[in-house]
């Protein structure tokens, strides 16, 4: 799975959290979602495996050990809100 | 009929069989927004205002107010931060923006507080890049008992609109029946999300979230005023105006 940014109006980072302005709405993002966005490059995007690795490095392995599935859950939630696109 | 609102020259093009009556009522109600008839240059926006039957005056005046607002905010899109807010100012022009959608008490708060504070607007607080406010001291739109349309109440009796109002504090009005009024501090990101829903054309500004964060942080962040009656707001607004900064 490849992940890219949608055309945000703006993204504001405040410590570990952030707010993104997309489709006329301002969404407040958790630490986890903010970390994901940090690793999705503006043009190139990122692969799911690389994102899972980055999240594991930042937060440790998820309780069930499946970092890829956990990361995909966050990515799909962000995609549902229009923040990311997946292909 | 030239009006000056939020740095925008809006001409209400009054016409129709009852145009004279309509124009006289616009002059009565919009006293603080009337612009010089001989002001040079073209208007920024023209708003048609037609009245053929005097019996329709209340409805026509009710329709004119949002038409002027929409015209002005459209003209200012991307230039200034436009908050859906009432603005009340002290003698030095320090202004508290009381943010809230229609029906949350902005006009009632304006009527109550502007008996002793300066009236900046009951509709839109337009904040320029330097923090100064482009005033919009429109008539108060008040629904009187039994009327379908709102009456446009002239603001002659309200506190004078300061010459140079500037944004001092930003609060959200929450008329939730709190017997003891209280103030809630809102974390920055949640504040941005809250205020963003009560703006016009925010997306047209350059880096709008960064700008909003800067505006809020320089004004002590966002507070929510929980209250029941407008008379509870006075002491809270006074306390905000007494705070240092901005």
Same structural domain, B114 and B64? no
Output DSSP code: residue B100.
-
Angle, CA B121 vertex, CA B230 and CA B105 arms, to 5°: 30
The DSSP-derived string for B122-181 is SSEEEE-TTSBEE---PPEEE--TT-SSPEEE--TTSBPPPSS-EEEEEEEEEES--SS-
**Do B54 and B171 belong to one domain?**
no
Q: What angle do the packed helices A31-38 and A67-80 form, to 10 degrees?
A: 90
Quick one: B113 and B231 in the same domain? yes
Clarify whether residues B71 and B83 are in a common domain. Answer: no
CA-based nearest distance A8→chain B, Å: 10
What mean pLDDT is predicted for residues B7-25?
A: 96
Q: Check: CB of residue A64 under 8 Å from CB of residue A56.
A: no
Q: How far apart are CA B15 and CA B48, in angstroms?
A: 8
Q: Are B185 and B169 in contact (CB under 8 A)?
A: no
Residue A57, pLDDT > 70, answer: yes
Domain co-membership, B170 together with B230: yes
Residue A18: list chain B partners with CB under 8 A.
189
| Domain termination residue (choose one: B76, B91, B123) | B76
Which of B122, B124, B120, B125 minimizes the C-alpha distance to B163? B120
* Statement to judge: residues B131 and B196 lie in one domain: yes
Q: What is the pLDDT of residue B246?
A: 64
Which residue of A12, A20, A28 is in closest CB contact with B210?
A12
Name the residue among B189, B197, B210 with its Cβ closest to that of A10.
B210
pLDDT at B244: 86
Cβ distance of B196 and A21 shorter than 8 Å = yes
B185: left (phi over 0), alpha (psi -120 to 50) or beta: beta
Q: Do A26 and B203 touch (CB under 8 A)?
A: no
Give the domain range for residue B156. Answer: 79-246
Report the chain B residue with the minimal C-alpha distance to residue A17. Answer: B189
d(C-alpha B75, C-alpha B52), whole Å: 28
What does pLDDT average to over chain B? 94
Residues from chain B contacting residue A24 (CB–CB below 8 Å): 203
A19 → chain B, closest CA residue: B189
Q: Which residue of A has its CA nearest to B214?
A: A12
Which helix (H) or strand (E) segment holds residue B214: the answer is helix B208-217
Encoded tokens for B25: 């009522």
B90 with B64, same domain? no
User: Domains of chain A, with CATH numbers?
Assistant: 2-86 (3.90.930)
In the stretch 131-190 of chain B, residues with CB closer than 8 A to chain A read 188-190
pLDDT digits (tens, 9 = 90+) for B68-122: 999 999 999 999 999 999 999 999 999 999 998 877 888 899 999 999 999 999 9
- B6 and B116 in a single domain? The answer is no
CA angle in degrees (0–180, nearest 5) for B116-B151-B25: 95
Subunit contact A21:B190, Cβ cutoff 8 A: no
B115 and B45 in one domain? no
- CB contact, 8 Å: B27 with chain A? no
User: How confident is the model over B116-167, as pLDDT tens digits?
Assistant: 999 999 999 999 999 999 999 999 988 888 889 999 999 999 999 999 999 9
Q: Please give the torsion angle defined by the CA atoms of residues B227, B232, B236 and B237, in that order, rounded to the nearest 10 degrees.
A: 110
What mean pLDDT comes out for the span B196-212?
97
Query: What is the Cβ-side half-sphere exposure of residue B138, based on CA atoms within 13 angstroms?
Result: 28
pLDDT tens, residue by residue, A12-48: 999 999 999 999 999 999 999 999 999 999 989 999 9
- Residue A65 corresponds to which tokens in the numbers above? 């050990």
Query: Are B21 and B128 within one domain?
Result: no
Percent of chain A past pLDDT 70, that is, above it, reads 100
Residues of A in contact with B208 (CB under 8 A): 9-10, 21
- Best A6, A8, A12 residue to mutate vs chain B (most B CBs within 10 Å): A12
How far apart, in whole angstroms, are the C-alpha atoms of residue B115 and residue B181?
21
CB proximity B217 to A under 8 Å: no
Q: For residue B144, what pLDDT is reported?
A: 86
Residues B112 and B228 in one domain: yes
Q: What is the pTM of this model?
A: 0.94
Domain count, chain B: 2
Q: Residue B183: which CATH number?
A: 3.40.50
Distance from CA of B189 to the nearest CA of A (A): 6
Domain boundary among B76, B103, B130: B76
How far away is chain B from the Cα of A66, in angstroms, using its nearest Cα? 30
Same structural domain, B83 and B139: yes
pLDDT for the residue numbered A11: 98
A38 phi-psi bin (left φ>0, alpha ψ -120 to 50, beta other): alpha
Contact B208 A10 (CB under 8 A): yes
- Residue A68 binned pLDDT confidence (cut-offs 50, 70, 90): very high
Residue that is last in its domain, among B42, B76, B110 = B76
């Amino acid at each position: 799975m490849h992940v890219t940014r949608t055309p945000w109006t703006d993204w504001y980072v405040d410590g570990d959290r952030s707010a993104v302005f997309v489709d006329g709405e301002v969404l407040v993002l958790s630490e986890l979602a903010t970390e994901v966005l940090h690793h999705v490059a503006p043009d190139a995007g990122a692969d799911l495996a690389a994102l899972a690795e980055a999240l594991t490095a930042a937060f440790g392995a998820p309780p069930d050990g499946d970092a890829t599935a956990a990361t995909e859950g966050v990515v799909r939630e962000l995609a549902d809100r229009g923040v990311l696109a997946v292909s | 009929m030239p009006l000056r609102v939020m740095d925008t020259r809006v001409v209400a093009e009054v016409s129709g069989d009852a145009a004279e009556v309509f124009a006289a009522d616009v002059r009565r109600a919009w006293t603080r927004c009337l612009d010089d008839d001989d002001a040079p240059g073209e208007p920024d926006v023209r708003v048609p205002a037609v009245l053929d039957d005097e019996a329709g005056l209340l409805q026509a005046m009710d329709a004119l107010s949002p038409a002027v607002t929409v015209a002005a905010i459209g003209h200012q899109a991307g230039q200034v931060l436009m908050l859906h807010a009432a603005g009340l100012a002290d003698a030095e022009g320090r202004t508290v923006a009381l943010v809230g959608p229609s029906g949350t008490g902005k006009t009632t708060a304006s009527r109550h507080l502007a008996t002793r504070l300066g009236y900046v607007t009951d509709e839109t607080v337009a904040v320029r890049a330097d923090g100064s406010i482009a005033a919009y001291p429109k008539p108060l739109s008040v629904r009187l008992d039994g009327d379908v349309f709102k009456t446009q109440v002239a603001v002659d009796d309200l506190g004078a609109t300061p010459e140079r109002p500037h944004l001092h504090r930003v609060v959200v009005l929450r008329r939730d029946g709190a017997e003891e009024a209280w103030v809630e501090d809102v974390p920055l990101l949640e504040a941005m999300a809250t205020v963003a829903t009560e703006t016009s054309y925010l997306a047209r500004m350059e880096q709008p979230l960064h700008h909003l964060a800067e505006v809020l942080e320089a004004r002590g962040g966002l507070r929510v005023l929980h209250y029941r009656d407008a008379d509870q707001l006075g002491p809270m607004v006074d306390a905000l105006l007494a705070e240092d900064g901005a």
